[in-house]
Every structure is written in C-alpha cells, then in structure tokens.
Chains A and B, each alone.
Chain A
Amino acid sequence: MRLLISFLCGTIFAIGLGISGMTNPEKVIGFLTLSSSWDPSLAFVMIGAIAVHFVSYRLVSRRKQPWLSEKFDIPINRKLETRLFVGAVLFGLGWGLSGFCPGPAVVSSVTLVPKVLIFCAAMLSGFALYNIGSFTLSLRNKA
C-alpha cells in the first residue's frame, strides 16, 4: 500500500509539473531572466504548491503518526551550515544555466529528447559523485 501511494504521489507530482510549465526549460529561463519580457508565471507554481501544503502540513502535523508508517520522517537539522549555502548556490547556477531542476528533468526524460537525457545523465553523475564523496569522507572519519 505504501508503495502504491508512493507511485501515485510521483504521478501527481509529475502531472503538476507538466501543467504548471516547469517542464519547459525556456519558460523557466524566461522566469529567471529579469528583463522587459519577464514572465512571472512560475512564481505562481510556488504560491499554489505552498498554499496547499502549508495548510495540509498544519493539519497533518497534529497527528501522532502517518497512516501507513510509524513516524514522520521530517528534517530536524536547524543549523545554517556553510554547506547549505554552497550547495544551494551551486544548484541555482545549474538551474539558471539550463532551466532544469531535478523533478522536471526526470519527468521530461520520457520524451527521450537527447539534450534532456544528457542533462539527466550529468545530474545523476553529480548525485553519484556526491554519494562517492560522502562515503569516502565517512570512511576517513572512521579511520
């Protein structure tokens, strides 16, 4: 059942991205480029998403536990570390250069457009490099 919900949520998420315009990297770049032809549409994606999730989070967080799991798995780290800023800036640079963030890139990969697949391959390589890097660091810290 958890798996079914997870699949369904992925599907709804993808359709939301598609309808909103986020799967169009030229539109994303049009949003991120401040000029006389600035297209502010994509600000409304965040407004719509937060409007729904802000309310539901408040309702859900009154519960002791989720429906199908023992506990809520919500980030508890509150530290404003350097890595948070460095990572977010690197991500923002990649987003502004390409017009793709992770969700829309994955969803758009089904079109098999070569440029999208190249972006996805590079992004997955980035994920893998991070995972290898943090694994190596954890080994060094243990030694």
Chain B
Amino acid sequence: MENFTPVSATLGGALIGLSASILLLSNGKIAGISSIVGKLVARPSKESLEKFVFFAGLLFGGILLTVLYPTAFDVKIERSIPILTFAGLLVGIGTRIGSGCTSGHGVCGLSRLSVRSLAATICFMGAGFAVATLLEGVL
C-alpha cells in the first residue's frame, strides 16, 4: 500500500465539494463536467458563455497545477492510443446518454441523495471495476 494517499485524496475531494457548493449557492448550477463541456460542442445557447468560462477555469487550474504541484501530472500513460481513442468515445457518448459522470452523478447527485445518480454511480463504478480488473495485465 505504498501508494495509499488518503489525506491528499480527501483534501482534493473537499475542494471539489467546495467548488460544487459555491457554484450552486452563487449561480444555482450543478458542477457536472460532462454536461458543461459536452454542451460546448453543441449549438450555442444563452448559457454557453458561463459554461465556457468554467471550462477555461478548469484549464487555468491545470496550468496552476503544472507550476505549483507538478506531481499531479507526473505519470507515464501505459494505455495504447487505440484503447485511449475507443475509451474517449465511450466516455463522451456514455456520459451524455447517461446524463452525467463522476462529478454530476457521483458527487453532486449522491450529495442530493438522488436515486437516479445512485443507480448511475453503481453502474459506472461497477463497469469500471469490472473492465479494469478483468483486463489487468492484458492491456
């Protein structure tokens, strides 16, 4: 368990919860990344600018991390390009069909005790655990 990092994981999680809380309290919006980013590649609506600005904030946070906490990206990605391409398509289509991802269902939805989000979270966690565990050593 040398890689076990519960403190930084909880702290990072708390920041994610804080971000979702501020967005709800101030703008009345759910911090669902797949919805926010997914609607950026659709026809513009009156809320597009707000979504785009959140997206820009994500990128800005990423740039801050590269300077202040480069460990966040200190990783060699082992998966092959065809696998990553296929997985990216699945993540893109799946999160839009299922109306949410780890943030919208897993954090925001579960915090509201939404039954829909609980069902979705069980499905994507179950599928994620199944495919990663079954393919261990294969990919």
Contact call B127/A96, Cβ cutoff below 8 A: yes
Contact call A85/B107, Cβ cutoff below 8 A: no
CB-CB < 8 A to A120: which residues of B? 88
Write the residues of chain A forming the contact surface with B, with a CB cutoff of 8 angstroms.
2-3, 5-27, 29-30, 32-35, 39-54, 56-57, 60, 63, 65-75, 77-80, 83-103, 105-111, 113, 115-116, 118-131, 135
The minimal Cβ–Cβ distance linking B24 to chain A, given in whole angstroms, is 5
23 contacts between A and B (CB under 8 A): A6-B23, A10-B54, A13-B57, A15-B12, A29-B132, A33-B133, A34-B129, A41-B9, A48-B17, A49-B17, A49-B107, A50-B111, A56-B25, A69-B29, A89-B126, A91-B127, A92-B124, A94-B91, A95-B87, A97-B90, A110-B63, A123-B91, A127-B92
Contact call A57/B21, Cβ cutoff below 8 A: yes
CB-CB < 8 A to B125: which residues of A? 92
Contact call B87/A119, Cβ cutoff below 8 A: yes
Contact call B61/A107, Cβ cutoff below 8 A: yes
Give the most central of A42, A97, A107, A113: most B CB within 10 Å: A97
**SS class, residues of chain B in contact with chain A:** helix
Contact call A50/B107, Cβ cutoff below 8 A: yes
Interface Cβ pair total, 8 Å cutoff: 485
Question: How many of chain B's residues have a CB under 8 angstroms from any CB in A?
Answer: 113
Select which of B30, B39, B57 is within 8 A of A7 by beta carbon. B57
Select which of B3, B20, B27 is within 8 A of A2 by beta carbon. B27
Q: Chain B, 52-81, contact with A by CB distance < 8 Å: what is the 0/1 string? A: 011111111111111001001111111101
Complex: A43 Cα to B25 Cα, angstroms? 26
Chain B residue nearest to A4 in the complex (CB):
B53
Contact call B126/A21, Cβ cutoff below 8 A: no
Contact call B28/A92, Cβ cutoff below 8 A: no
CB-CB < 8 A to B5: which residues of A? 21, 41
Complex: A88 Cα to B50 Cα, angstroms? 26
